[in-house]
Structure 1
Amino acid sequence: MAEEKAAENTAAQAAPQVQMRVLGQFIRDMSFENVMAQKGVSGDVQPEIAVQVNLDAKKRSAEHQYEVAIKLNLKSKAKGLEDILFLCEIDYCGLFHVEGVAEDQLHPFLLIECPRMLFPFLRRIVSDITRDGGYPPVNLDNIDFVALYRNELMRRQAEAQKTEA
């Protein structure tokens, strides 16, 4: 029993401890276009919202620091019509200090774990923007960043196979 605990302690000490700190968050770019108000359309409409999410990560010049961006595009149409109600685009970034992640796991870590930390803040911003734009606040559903990452990997593999053929 004592030998097992000693082996576990040795293994725990040998494995690097993952450390992640959020150094900062900011809006790099944001746009909200209230198309319906510009056209002078009024009345009660039921919005139908399409959400598109893109992720990006890059190394910063400081050691162990990375910038992760969530690019969100929302397009709202009137239910049953082709009229656009509003367009919202936001590029939300976080600066992270990440240590102890194996090199082969760094890419998924940056595109899964870091966006998970940023998302609640981005959700609140989108809610405020849409409410302030004259619509009911858009409360985004949780995003499965693991599925998003896997889908992007599959898309890239399919694209690579097309170019090889």
Structure 2
Amino acid sequence: MADETPAQEAPAGIKMSVLAQYIRDMSFENILVQKGGAGDVTPDVSVQVNIDAKKRTVENQFEVIIKLMIKSNDKASEAALFLMELEYGGVFQIENVPEDQLHPFLLIECPRMLFPFVRRVVSDVTRDGGFPPLNLETIDFLQLYRAELTRRAEAEAKNATVS
């Protein structure tokens, strides 16, 4: 006997559009040249990544910012070679994402869309700044998201035991 209950409507597919991309803030300091240094150096590069997302006033629009702090020191002398700070943003139109999944979507999927452009900016700026182009390794935004959730949970647990 056939099931006569009407089929539930399938949820509409997720829609994401990148409406704009831009450099919100950027600085690059070639410390090596400023201090009169030159010659053979072996760079040791560290990269810190932060991500910020916020709702815009227009319905279903969000702004996501990837913030990078890149420091390069000489491995032998530990002298600073360069410092780069970059805030790269994107404006996204996002529809049909369940409310409980919106936060991870904004902090994982949106940065994934922006990352190739961030990588290009970093490569061009380091090259134009007098160094070999720095090609950033792929960033695992899912891992970053999970690490931040763990960090927050540990901070809350610590605060709960202190109170």
TM-score range, shorter chain: over 0.9
How far has the Cα of 1:127 moved from its partner?
Answer: 0.1
TM-score, normalised relative to structure 1: 0.92
Deviations 1:67-120 (A, max 9, x none): 000000100000122200000000000000000000000000000000000000
Pair 1:96-2:87 in alignment:
no
Which among 131, 134, 140 is matched to residue 138 of structure 1? 134
**Paired residue for 1:17?**
13
Deviations 1:45-84 (A, max 9, x none): 1111000000000000000000000000100000122200
**Paired residue for 2:77?**
81
Which structure 2 segments of 5+ residues have no match? Answer: none
Misfit runs of 4+, over 4 Å = none
1:13-162 superposed matches below 5 A: 13-162=9-158
RMSD: 1.5
Q: Which moved more, 1:24-33 or 1:74-83?
A: 74-83
Deviations 1:18-51 (A, max 9, x none): 0000000000000001111100011011111000
Deviations 1:137-163 (A, max 9, x none): 000000000000000000000000111
Which structure 1 segments of 5+ residues have no match? Answer: none
What is the aligned-residue identity percentage?
Answer: 59
CA distance in 2: counterparts of 1:113 and 1:60, whole angstroms: 18
